């Protein structure tokens, strides 16, 4: 019997009804459904009838042919654990590298040889980093398909991933080079005073805190505690498609409070007095938020003008390098940098052990 009576001390009449039955999914696995607490047998029958019809419809749907593109769209739409900003990136990777080659394939027919050949071909034209990003999307789709019974099994246990090796890029600049950028913005044109002033403060915040550009541009004055010298990092400004918006941070570890040095304290006090009308620490000439793309383009132009290879993220590496040079514990550095993965910080510390980059930064910078 799929409906049975069970004793219940909480029920007034001393019992409730339970719906319990077994069924097979579309790949032959035995599943069980159980729900108790129905006060009348009629309620239990109504629930049982509805659930069996729902299961029947789902089995009919999943017995249809599904392409890789179909499952990708379901994966992006229904994955509750992936942030929208990450979904946007994965959609871009899919459209650029995957859709034309795998999108129309019947996902249940893709085998190990086919998917490995796909990655072998990609590895001849794409960098290792690009290949790893492609794999994250492909693996996510196959995992979603398997977990939701669209395929009997994933077509691989592991894949061999190759890619074009790239030259190691310089990831920090010297303090003298940094000061050249500051001087470049100090000698601004009259109609660009506001932008230039805010570029300078953004660069100093990056240098003294190591926060990401989006985090920097998302800071409001209410997040800055000049009395206790702390900045709360609790949101970021991101470009999502063609829009700019404040969003949640990359991970739980990204939510943190970073200390304000004496030098940065003085810079911020002066900046707040100069631009009291803006709610954002870094503002555009209209006193609203500043576009990440705008500051990135400005830094790129200044970089070309000064003939110095530089981008905002280098300030993050400079900050971590300074902590390393001062002997700060790696776990403390992980917390200050907002790294979700300990290994990310460990890899940087290991690289610094090898490179001995202390000559790039003066030892008294943050004293």
pLDDT values of the chain reduced to their tens digit, one per residue, 367 residues: 588 888 887 777 888 888 888 877 655 667 788 888 888 888 888 888 888 887 776 665 455 789 999 999 999 988 777 777 677 778 888 998 999 999 999 998 999 999 999 999 999 998 887 898 899 999 999 999 988 888 888 999 999 999 887 655 678 888 989 999 998 898 777 778 999 999 999 999 999 999 999 999 999 999 999 999 999 999 999 888 778 889 999 889 999 999 999 999 999 999 999 999 999 999 999 999 999 999 999 999 999 988 889 999 999 999 998 898 888 888 999 999 999 888 888 877 777 766 654 444 433 444 4
Same domain flag for 211 and 234: yes
- pLDDT for 266 equals 97
Same domain flag for 181 and 49: no
Q: Does residue 290 lie in a domain region? A: yes
Question: CB of 366 within 8 A of CB of 208?
Answer: yes
Q: Domain range spanning residue 181?
A: 175-360
Q: Out of 14, 46, 62, pick the residue that ends a domain.
A: 62
**Quick one: tokens of 13?**
């009449």
Q: Does residue 156 lie in a domain region? A: no
DSSP code, position 98: I
Same domain flag for 113 and 181: no
Residue 307 CA to residue 204 CA, distance in Å, equals: 20
Centre a 10 Å sphere on the Cβ of residue 325 and count the other Cβ atoms it contains: 19
| Residue 217 burial (10 A CB sphere; 0-12, 13-18, 19+) | buried
Same domain flag for 302 and 322: yes
320 phi and psi angles, rounded to 5 deg: -65, -40
Residue 140 CA to residue 143 CA, distance in Å, equals: 5
Here the CATH number for the domain that contains residue 113 is: 1.10.150.130
- pLDDT for 297 equals 94
30, 67, 107 from 104: Cα distances, Å: 31, 6, 9
Q: Is 160 helix (H, G, I), strand (E, B) or coil?
A: coil
Same domain flag for 52 and 76: no
Q: Does residue 164 lie in a domain region? A: no
Number of domains in the chain: 3
Same domain flag for 82 and 37: no
User: CB within 8 A of 360, min separation 6: which ones?
Assistant: 172, 173, 174, 318, 321
Same domain flag for 87 and 56: no
Centre a 10 Å sphere on the Cβ of residue 105 and count the other Cβ atoms it contains: 15
Query: What is the rounded end-to-end Cα distance, in angstroms, of the chain?
Result: 77
Question: CB of 196 within 8 A of CB of 188?
Answer: yes
Question: CB of 172 within 8 A of CB of 325?
Answer: no
User: CB within 8 A of 57, min separation 6: which ones?
Assistant: none
Q: Out of 147, 164, 188, pick the residue that ends a domain.
A: 147
Here the CATH number for the domain that contains residue 349 is: 1.10.443.10
**Quick one: tokens of 181?**
């950028």
Question: CB of 116 within 8 A of CB of 156?
Answer: yes
Residue 78 CA to residue 55 CA, distance in Å, equals: 19
Rg (alpha carbons) of the chain, rounded to whole number: 28
Q: Does residue 162 lie in a domain region? A: no
- pLDDT for 363 equals 38
SS percent in the chain: helix, strand, coil, step 5: 55, 15, 30
Q: Does residue 104 lie in a domain region? A: yes
Same domain flag for 224 and 205: yes
Q: Does residue 322 lie in a domain region? A: yes
- pLDDT for 27 equals 52
Question: CB of 321 within 8 A of CB of 366?
Answer: no
Q: Does residue 350 lie in a domain region? A: yes
Same domain flag for 103 and 212: no
Residue 106 CA to residue 66 CA, distance in Å, equals: 6
Q: What value, to the nearest 5°, has the Cα angle with vertex 144 and ends 143 and 146?
A: 65
Same domain flag for 315 and 343: yes
């Amino acid at each position: 019997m799929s409906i049975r009576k069970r004793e219940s001390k909480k029920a007034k009449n001393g019992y409730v009804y339970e719906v319990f039955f077994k069924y097979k999914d579309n790949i032959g696995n035995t599943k069980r459904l159980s729900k108790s607490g129905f006060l009348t047998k009629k309620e239990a029958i109504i629930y049982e009838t509805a659930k069996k019809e729902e299961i029947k419809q789902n089995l009919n749907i999943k017995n249809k042919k599904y392409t890789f593109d179909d499952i990708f769209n379901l994966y992006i739409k229904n994955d509750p654990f992936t942030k929208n900003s990450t979904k946007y990136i994965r959609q871009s990777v899919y459209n650029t590298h995957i859709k034309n080659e795998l999108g129309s394939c019947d996902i249940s027919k893709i085998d190990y040889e086919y998917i490995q050949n796909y990655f072998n071909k990609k590895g001849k034209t794409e960098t290792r980093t690009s290949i790893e990003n492609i794999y994250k999307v492909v693996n996510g789709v196959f995992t979603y398909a398997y977990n939701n019974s669209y395929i009997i099994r994933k077509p691989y246990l592991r894949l061999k991933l190759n890619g074009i090796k790239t030259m190691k890029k310089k990831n920090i600049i010297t303090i003298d080079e940094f000061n050249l950028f500051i001087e470049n913005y100090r000698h601004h044109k009259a109609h660009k005073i506001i932008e230039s002033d805010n570029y300078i403060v953004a660069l100093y915040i990056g240098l003294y805190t190591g926060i990401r550009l989006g985090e920097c541009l998302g800071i409001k004055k209410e997040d800055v505690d000049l009395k206790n010298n702390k900045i709360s990092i609790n949101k970021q400004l991101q470009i999502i498609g063609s829009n700019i918006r404040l969003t949640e941070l990359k991970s739980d570890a990204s939510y943190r409070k970073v200390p304000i040095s004496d030098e940065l304290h003085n810079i911020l006090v002066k900046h707040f007095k100069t631009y009291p009308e803006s709610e954002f620490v870094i503002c555009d000439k209209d006193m609203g938020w500043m576009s990440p793309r705008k500051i990135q383009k400005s830094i790129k132009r200044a970089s070309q003008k000064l003939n110095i290879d530089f981008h905002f993220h280098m300030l993050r590496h400079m900050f971590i390098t300074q902590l390393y040079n001062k002997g700060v514990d790696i776990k403390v550095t992980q917390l200050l940098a907002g790294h979700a993965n300990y290994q990310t910080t460990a890899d940087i510390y290991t690289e610094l052990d090898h490179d001995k980059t202390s000559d790039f930064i003066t030892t008294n910078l943050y004293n």
